[in-house]
Structure 1
Amino acid sequence: MTIPLPEWALHEALWIGFPSDRSLWAEDLAPAQQEVVEFARAIHADGKGEAVWLVAADEAAATVARKLAPFSRVIHEPFGDVWLRDTGAIVTGSGRNRRAQGFVFNGWGGKYDLPGDDSIGERLSAEAGLAYAKADWILEGGAIDGDGSGSFITTEQCLLNPNRNPGLSYADIEQRLARDLGADRIVWLGQGLANDHTDGHVDNLARYVAAGRVAIPTAGRDDPNRAVYQDAAKRLAKAGLDVVTLPSPGLVERDGEMVPASYMNFVIGNATVVVPIYGAPLDEAAVDVVQAIFPDRRAIGLRADHLLIGGGSFHCISQQVPR
């Protein structure tokens, strides 16, 4: 069993979902596409970063992607929506030992059943020449985060949710993570962010930034997720992990509804770390903290307003292929 490398290990490429379906994105389609292009450009970093593989669901979107992002490789493969962190395979190992591990996908507990999302991981793996295996249980990539040593963090809200794998216990989940991803330690956090349709994905809450070191948000009194962050900090400290804190954007609303905005949905590239920002007062401070955490990379804050309306941000739409 090969363990997934940590996200800060060098990448050959980054798969990035390109918004394609106007029936899903409506008037946000073109602005969301532009946000994705700016994200892809920052990751590519004029050739100093990794290759960018933009994945478009139809030829119309592929044509737009080729025009807006000539520095990228555009892959036309049908899918439901752009959230490749969850629908794509997790690539483990490196060099000749690389392989793609897939899982059953059920639309985040049956919320969004879209054609192609249950097979896009296998198709992208085949296109990249990666051997593929599919596990017999439900897991989304955004539900776990690892440091490359076999240690993972996750949330009870997601992995123990009866809408994913009813009847599975803590021990059952841990056994499956050990079998399929080489996990030898699982640190369980509690709830994820409020109004997150993923049922608490950890990549909006806590992220490994080095071996044994986890970044989480810290919040003011009026932050809707204050109690969630405090509980996560206590659990991580109890587990003996080093905790570093980022600001929280606080309450962020779109069209009068609270959305799960988080600076934790950053992407660690070869040359840059791209942080989603939202026009919140602490945007700049969050990017500064990320820069301090990753002094060997350039931290870049980019607006992700239209992607957020779709349900996620930069980490959610991407999946790395280790070098």
Structure 2
Amino acid sequence: MSSFNEVIFNSSPKKLGFSFPAEWEKHDATWLSWPHKEESWPGKIETIYEPYCQFIKIVATGEKVRINVNNEETKTFAISELEKVGADLSQIEFYFNPSNDAWCRDHGPAFLLNKANRKKAIVDWGYNAWGGKYPPYELDDVIPTKIAEHFNLSVYHPDIVMEGGSVEFNGAGTILTTTACLLNENRNPHLNKEQIEEYLKEFYGAEQVLWLGDGIVGDDTDGHIDDITRFVNEDTVLTVVESNPLDENYLLLQENLETLKTLRLLNGKPLNIVKLPMPSPVIHEDTRLPASYANFYIANAAVIVPTFRDVNDEKALEIIQGVFPDRKVVGIDSTDIIWGLGSFHCLSQQEPSI
């Protein structure tokens, strides 16, 4: 064990038997923070509510949806938008946890389980809006602890910056992440790679961390893993590849693919790699957006995939359906949502069942 923070690690979630389950394990609920920040969708925020509510409607068919809202006015507006799409409001709960922005994957609660004693806990990582890019973020930063207090759950504070979209889990001891994000000096410049791995393992209850390189072009998070490579079971990943050699994503995604081939799981086996196409570039106001089919969300009742009115939409849905035979795969048009530089996985955070 590294000596740099033994006090924290001696009583870490891992030492106490907690771990972060895979996304495909059963959920009690999905957490969201209702979108309200117009600067995240400049001139376009009114267009996102229909697909956002369609997402909630589908998730709510298999689990509770718990939504952080700023006030009664926001709650009333949210209900009216959800009613328009016919969402089951009996499955939807609202919590007055004011937010700065909507990206609950990154600022929301990281739920841990201790399956031996049937306990649930929350990790409240530090949050700085992807390296201080989009202040203010103070409201977002405290949401996990507020949720833990409401549900009387233990909460752990590693006191370093970490975002949910930067880490991917197979539920069997392995975390997948990127050097572009976690080694960026705008996150934790006082920590080296080995130290960051220790934090990840101790606070997520994992045994190893595997590293990829860069994220896709247009990703303002500095390369979140959930736009490029996702576990779909303990030993299989879906990873996006670009077929056009002239596209600016081509080489970096080829490099990630080659790296994936060299990685080994705890049992020594290589990953089973399934390739997923990229959509054609999605451009808005001369800005390349981080459109990717990898930003899907695995809910109890369905796998919800962002689509982009693209020729590859159906092909991507077929591939994802092939690796989730027990769930319905549903595409929802994310062309307007992606203007906010994220999609359904970025917007959501699962609460696992004990």
Partner Cα distance (1:293, 1:24) in 2: 33
Report if aligned partners of 1:16, 1:52 keep a CA contact under 8 Å in 2: yes
Q: How far did 1:195 drift?
A: 1.9
- Map residues 117-156 of structure 1 onto 2, 5 A cutoff: 117-156=140-179
Partner Cα distance (2:38, 2:288) in 1: 23
Q: TM-score normalised to the size of structure 2?
A: 0.87
Report if aligned partners of 1:219, 1:250 keep a CA contact under 8 Å in 2: no
* Cα RMSD (Å): 1.5
SS of the counterpart of 1:99? strand
Partner Cα distance (2:216, 2:196) in 1: 22
Q: Residue type matched to 1:67 in 2?
A: S
Matched with 1:294 is 324
Partner Cα distance (2:322, 2:26) in 1: 19
Matched with 1:229 is 253
1:12 partnered with 2:28 = yes
1:58 partnered with 2:78 = no
Partner Cα distance (1:166, 1:61) in 2: 37
1:244 partnered with 2:260 = no
SS of the counterpart of 2:158? strand
Q: Residue type matched to 1:10 in 2?
A: K
Report if aligned partners of 1:273, 1:300 keep a CA contact under 8 Å in 2: yes
Q: Mean Cα displacement is larger for which, 229-238 or 264-273?
A: 229-238
Consecutive unaligned residues of structure 1, counting only runs of 5 or more, are none
1:275-317 deviation line (CA, Å, top 9, x unaligned)? 0011111011111111111010000000112221112100001
1:74 partnered with 2:83 = no
Q: How far did 1:122 drift?
A: 1.4
Report if aligned partners of 1:54, 1:65 keep a CA contact under 8 Å in 2: no
Partner Cα distance (2:323, 2:132) in 1: 37
SS of the counterpart of 2:74? helix
Instruction: Indicate how the Cα distance of structure 1 residues 263 and 24 shifts in structure 2: closer, same or farther if over 3 A, else same.
Output: closer
Report if aligned partners of 1:106, 1:118 keep a CA contact under 8 Å in 2: yes
1:133-176 deviation line (CA, Å, top 9, x unaligned)? 11121110100001111101000000000010113222111111
1:221-264 deviation line (CA, Å, top 9, x unaligned)? 24331112111111111012111111111311112211110000
Partner Cα distance (1:203, 1:219) in 2: 16
Q: Mean Cα displacement is larger for which, 311-320 or 212-221?
A: 212-221
Q: Residue type matched to 1:149 in 2?
A: A
Instruction: Indicate how the Cα distance of structure 1 residues 255 and 174 shifts in structure 2: closer, same or farther if over 3 A, else same.
Output: same
Matched with 1:219 is 242
Q: Residue type matched to 2:51 in 1?
A: E
SS of the counterpart of 2:160? strand
Sequence identity (%): 33
Partner Cα distance (1:24, 1:61) in 2: 17
Matched with 2:333 is 303
SS of the counterpart of 2:258? helix
Q: Mean Cα displacement is larger for which, 7-16 or 90-99?
A: 90-99
1:187 partnered with 2:200 = no
Report if aligned partners of 2:305, 2:332 keep a CA contact under 8 Å in 1: yes
Report if aligned partners of 1:224, 1:251 keep a CA contact under 8 Å in 2: no
SS of the counterpart of 2:66? strand
SS of the counterpart of 2:291? coil
Matched with 1:112 is 134
Q: How far did 1:30 drift?
A: 2.2
Q: How far did 1:207 drift?
A: 0.5
Matched with 1:280 is 310
Q: Mean Cα displacement is larger for which, 236-245 or 263-272?
A: 236-245
Matched with 1:175 is 198
Q: TM-score normalised to the size of structure 1?
A: 0.95
Partner Cα distance (2:76, 2:170) in 1: 37
Partner Cα distance (1:203, 1:279) in 2: 21
Larger radius of gyration, structure 1 or 2?
2
Partner Cα distance (1:52, 1:236) in 2: 34
How many residue pairs align between the two structures? 320
